Chains A and B, each alone.
Chain A
Amino acid sequence: DSGVTQTPKHLITATGQRVTLRCSPRSGDLSVYWYQQSLDQGLQFLIQYYNGEERAKGNILERFSAQQFPDLHSELNLSSLELGDSALYFCASSVAGGSHEQYFGPGTRLTVT
Chain B
Amino acid sequence: EDKVVQSPLSLVVHEGDTVTLNCSYEVTNFRSLLWYKQEKKAPTFLFMLTSSGIEKKSGRLSSILDKKELFSILNITATQTGDSAVYLCESQNYGQNFVFGPGTRLSVLP
| Chain A residues within 8 Å of B, Cβ to Cβ | 2, 33, 35, 42-45, 48, 55-56, 58, 90, 97-107
In the complex, the answer to whether A43 meets B100 with C-beta atoms within 8 Å is: yes
B43 in the interface, Cβ–Cβ < 8 Å?
A: yes
**Least CB separation from A56: chain B residue:** B96
Of B32, B42, B88, B102, the contact of A105 (CB 8 Å cutoff): B42
- The contact sample of 26 A-B pairs, CB cut-off 8 A, is A2-B44, A33-B98, A42-B102, A43-B43, A43-B88, A43-B100, A45-B99, A45-B100, A48-B96, A48-B98, A55-B96, A56-B96, A58-B97, A90-B43, A97-B96, A99-B48, A99-B92, A100-B48, A101-B34, A101-B45, A101-B48, A102-B45, A104-B44, A106-B42, A107-B41, A107-B42
Residues of B within 8 A of A58 (CB): 97-98
Q: Which of A58, A101, A104 has the most CB of B within 10 A?
A: A101
Contacts of B50 in A (CB 8 A): 99
Docked CA distance A35–B96 (Å): 14
Q: Tell whether A99 pairs with B32 under 8 Å between CB atoms, given A90-B42, A106-B42.
A: yes
Give A35 to B50 CA distance when docked, in angstroms: 23
Q: A42-B103, A43-B88 are in contact. Are A103 and B45 (CB under 8 A)?
A: yes
Residue of A nearest to B35 (CB): A101
CA distance in complex: A33, B45 (Å): 15
Q: How far is the CA of A33 from the CA of B50 in the complex (A)?
A: 20
Does residue B67 face the partner (Cβ distance < 8 Å to A)? Answer: no
The minimal Cβ–Cβ distance linking A28 to chain B, given in whole angstroms, is 16
Q: Which residue of B lies closest to A90 (CB)?
A: B42
In the complex, residue of chain A having the shortest beta-carbon distance to the beta carbon of B4 = A42
Complexed CA–CA distance, A48 and B101 (Å)? 19
